[in-house]
């Protein structure tokens, strides 16, 4: 099959978000199985118009001229166009290739309240956030989603929100993202260790994670990630990098290094302090490594089921609860079993292949 994955990013060339990570993982695994995979994304710094990445061809267009992508979709002539979250790319692919099959996966359906929070605490600037809003959520995108041949949600619990937001007649079905489960025995650190995994953007509120280190000096705090705003990033490192129980590792590329997996293996708890999220990929990766969750985000009730939901930003209370009498261990074990059952990498890719074949009428 010739499969085109459409996304606002792929995990490379300076853009390292959850959408891009899931897109790259799915594309890589599909390419390993012999499918021709093309990814179309807005062009990032130092990215060429055509790149080869993990067996995929990555085509890009100028971010400020998204209509140019129509030429790419027409030339690709894919059997399947699969949007990893709706955008104008969904609309352009449908417009230029109406005879192909079009699939949409909702990764983080955002309503007006969500976008307000994005604009209030932008990663880089309000202008860029508003440009993203215009590209990802407008009447043309809504029209394209409703015309898609199939639509899914990557997290149980987001289906109703996506259905209402896009005016869908049927509720999206669940289609999990591929998550690699460590096959080795996991060895946790002897001393309590907690970690933060994500971009150091204002919406992610990494300063709340780092402030906890001042209150629990008996716990090691390890933070992976960096900010898109260089000044904000430097200020955090200058203030908290001198603490004895804090390690600031910067950006780690999980596709070329095992460092992230090693940190998760040793950590007891993943702490997520974001003001809002969909279902973060980092949650699933942490659970796969037997980490409990501590977060103010509770998408699909995952945090509540496998950790502590700090719904009032009561992170210290949650950390104390999880560490007392090793409460985190039972929750982490349950979380790993949940990810193994629903998100295991090859099982997820099997489901994607099955859906594609059914849409194309290809016998098993």
Summarize pLDDT for 171-222 with one digit per residue, the tens.
999 999 999 999 888 899 999 999 999 888 888 899 999 999 999 999 999 9
Q: What is the pTM of this model?
A: 0.93
Nearest to 276 by CA among 116, 142, 155, 86: 116
Cα 168 from chain centre = 23
- Say whether pLDDT at 364 is over 70: no
For 1-24, what is each residue's pLDDT tens digit? 999 999 999 988 888 888 999 999
DSSP string, 274-293: -S--SS-HHHHHHHHTT-EE
pLDDT, residue 81, reads 98
Average pLDDT over residues 106-128: 81
Contact 229, 203 (CB under 8 A): no
Q: Provide the token pair at 269.
A: 């708890």
Partner residues linked to 248 by β-bridges: 223
Which one is predicted more confidently, 45 or 94? Answer: 94
pLDDT digits (tens, 9 = 90+) for 264-319: 999 999 999 988 888 889 999 999 999 999 999 998 899 999 999 999 999 999 99
Output 198 or 99, whichever has higher pLDDT. Answer: 99
Q: What pLDDT score was predicted for residue 201?
A: 84
Res 16: pLDDT: 82
**Do the Cβ atoms of 42 and 32 come closer than 8 Å?**
no
Where does the chain hold its CATH 3.40.50.2000 domain(s)? 2-178+345-360, 193-342
Closest CA to 108 of 9, 207, 4: 9
Share above pLDDT 90 across residues of the chain, in percent, rounded to a whole number = 74
Which of 80, 97, 106 lies closest to 354 in space, CA to CA? 80
Domain 2-178+345-360 sits in CATH 2.60.120.260: no
Question: In the numeric block, which tokens belong to residue 148?
Answer: 């898609």
The CATH number of domain 193-342, selected from 3.20.20.70, 3.40.50.620, 3.40.50.2000, 3.40.250.10: 3.40.50.2000
pLDDT of residue 102: 98
With beta carbons less than 8 A apart as the criterion, state whether 339 and 181 touch. yes
Under 8 Å between Cβ of 85 and 93: no
């Amino acid at each position: 099959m010739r499969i085109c994955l459409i996304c606002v990013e792929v995990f490379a060339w300076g853009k390292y978000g959850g959408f891009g990570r899931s897109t790259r993982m799915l594309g890589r695994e599909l390419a390993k199985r012999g499918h021709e995979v093309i990814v179309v994304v807005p062009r990032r710094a130092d990215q060429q118009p055509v790149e080869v990445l993990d067996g995929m061809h990555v085509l890009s267009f100028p971010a400020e001229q998204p209509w140019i992508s129509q030429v790419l979709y027409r030339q690709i002539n894919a059997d399947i166009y699969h949007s990893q979250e709706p955008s104008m790319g969904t609309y352009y692919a449908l417009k230029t290739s109406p005879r192909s099959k079009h699939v949409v996966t909702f990764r983080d359906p955002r309503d007006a309240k969500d976008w307000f929070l994005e604009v209030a605490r932008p990663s880089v600037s309000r202008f860029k956030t508003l440009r993203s809003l215009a590209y990802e959520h407008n009447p043309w995108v809504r029209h394209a989603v409703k015309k898609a041949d199939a639509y899914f949600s990557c997290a149980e619990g987001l289906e109703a929100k996506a259905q209402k937001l896009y005016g869908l007649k049927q509720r999206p079905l669940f289609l999990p993202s591929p998550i690699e489960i460590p096959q080795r025995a996991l060895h946790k650190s002897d001393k309590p260790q907690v970690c933060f995994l994500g971009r150091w953007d204002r919406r992610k509120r990494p300063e709340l994670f780092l402030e906890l280190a001042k209150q629990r000096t008996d716990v090691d705090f390890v933070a992976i990630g960096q900010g898109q705003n260089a000044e904000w990033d430097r200020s955090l490192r200058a203030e908290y990098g001198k603490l004895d129980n804090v390690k600031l590792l910067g950006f780690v590329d999980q596709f070329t290094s095992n460092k992230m997996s090693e940190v998760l293996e040793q950590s007891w708890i993943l702490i997520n302090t974001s003001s809002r999220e969909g279902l973060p990929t980092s949650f699933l990766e942490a659970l796969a490594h037997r980490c409990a969750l501590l977060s103010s985000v509770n998408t699909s009730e995952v945090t509540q089921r496998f950790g502590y939901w700090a719904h009032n930003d009561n992170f210290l209370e949650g950390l104390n609860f999880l560490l007392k009498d090793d409460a985190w261990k039972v929750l982490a074990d349950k979380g790993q079993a949940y990810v193994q059952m629903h998100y295991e990498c090859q099982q997820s890719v099997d489901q994607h292949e099955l859906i594609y074949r059914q849409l194309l009428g290809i016998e098993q």
